[in-house]
Amino acid sequence: MSNNLRIPTILLVFLFAVSNASDCVKEKIQYDIARFTSSYKEEIEHHDDVVIKNDKEAFYINITGPVKSFCKGSINISVRSHHFWCGVSTLKTIEVGAFDNQIIDSQFIISGNKIKVVQTGLFHDLQVELMDLIYNEIEEIQENSIVNLPQLTTLHLSHNKISNLHPNAIRNTPKLQWFDISNNNLKTLGPKVFDFLRKEVIVGIGVSGNNLEKIDPKAFEGLNIYTLGLDNNHLSTIPDTIFTNNKELSEIHLANNSLTSLSDKFFEMKTLNFIYLSGNDFKCDTILKLRDLFKRGGYVKESPKNGRFVKILSYDEKDC
């Protein structure tokens, strides 16, 4: 090979290597590992290392230093740690692959950080029971980003900036019973957005404090909801399917919306114990029906201090 051919070849190989290299920069990470000794005392080890490692059963791993990224290869939890916590406020990116094959079986909490996207393939095949990503800057939960979490019961995504929850973002979470995406930027709930929740599991869903203007009648299809939070949105109507499909609905939060009426299907429900409707300007025919429901249902306006079980119906009265 002549010299003038060799140079471009070397350049090409070099460019190829650069474009393929991950731009995730590994840095030293400070973290604590807590273990229980044989006498059930908690023992904490401090670490400062490029790879978070665990090779003996641990109670928790807690990030304590200002980490910016978790890269593929930054974490190697090869022996079980019950919890993984990161609340240091500096974390911006998690590279896809960083949490592959990590043995964490209880809480997974990355809250109060600066994560912007939950990418396709980010969290899969984990044994965690609780996943908490609250108070980040998440705008988007991409397709197939939270997949195959057979033990997951609770998923907290509140206090982010989510405007785009892909309909297949979350899949195969058969035990999930609490899904909270309140205080985000969702504008609508499309058909079957909660398809990852199973009908056999009675569930609680929180979508409070978004910018919801519209809910598709099929948004909650195939679910069995116990508690539903839709307060502090811009809803002017609520689809009847919510009242007709959920035979065990006990608690509904609709305060601070733009509702002016409630349908007959709502008034036909027999299972509602907690109904929150303040901050809506209902027309008189609805107010009259609410007064009637209040009396005949044995509700009170707010929960008493003594913690006694009561049924609550709160709404703003007006002259009718």
Ligand X SMILES: *[C@@H]1O[C@H](CO)[C@@H](O)[C@H](O)[C@H]1NC(C)=O
Under the rule (CB under 6 A), what is the footprint of ligand X? Answer: 55, 62, 64, 76, 78, 85, 87-88, 231-232, 255-256, 276, 278-279
In whole angstroms, the minimum distance from the beta carbon of 67 to ligand X comes to 11
- Distance from first CA to last CA of the chain, Å, rounded? 95
State the residue for tokens 């009908």: 199
In whole angstroms, the minimum distance from the beta carbon of 89 to ligand X comes to 9
**Four-CA torsion 37, 153, 118, 110, nearest 10 degrees:** -30
Q: Which is nearer to ligand X, 237 or 278 (CB)?
A: 278
User: Using CA atoms, how far apart are residues 153 and 179, in angstroms rounded to an integer?
Assistant: 9
Let me know: does 28 contact 49? Beta carbons within 8 Å.
Answer: yes
- Residues listed for the chain: 320
Give bridge partners of residue 171 from the DSSP assignment.
Answer: 147
In whole angstroms, the minimum distance from the beta carbon of 243 to ligand X comes to 20
User: Using CA atoms, how far apart are residues 77 and 79, in angstroms rounded to an integer?
Assistant: 6
Phi (first) and psi of residue 45, to 5 degrees:
-105, 135
Q: Which is nearer to ligand X, 53 or 198 (CB)?
A: 53
Q: Which is nearer to ligand X, 124 or 144 (CB)?
A: 124
Q: Which is nearer to ligand X, 76 or 261 (CB)?
A: 76
**Four-CA torsion 42, 46, 49, 51, nearest 10 degrees:** 10
Q: Which is nearer to ligand X, 141 or 259 (CB)?
A: 259
Q: Which is nearer to ligand X, 276 or 294 (CB)?
A: 276
In whole angstroms, the minimum distance from the beta carbon of 196 to ligand X comes to 27
Q: Which is nearer to ligand X, 54 or 69 (CB)?
A: 54
3-state DSSP of 45-99: EEEEECCEEECCCEEEEEECCCCCEECCCCEEECCCEEEEEECCCCCCEECCCCC
In sequence order, what are the residues at sequence separation of 6 or more whose Cβ sits closer than 8 angstroms to the Cβ of residue 276?
A: 231, 252, 253, 254, 255, 312, 314
In whole angstroms, the minimum distance from the beta carbon of 167 to ligand X comes to 28
Let me know: does 225 contact 250? Beta carbons within 8 Å.
Answer: no
Q: Which is nearer to ligand X, 173 or 256 (CB)?
A: 256
In whole angstroms, the minimum distance from the beta carbon of 8 to ligand X comes to 36
In whole angstroms, the minimum distance from the beta carbon of 83 to ligand X comes to 9
In whole angstroms, the minimum distance from the beta carbon of 48 to ligand X comes to 13
Let me know: does 284 contact 261? Beta carbons within 8 Å.
Answer: no
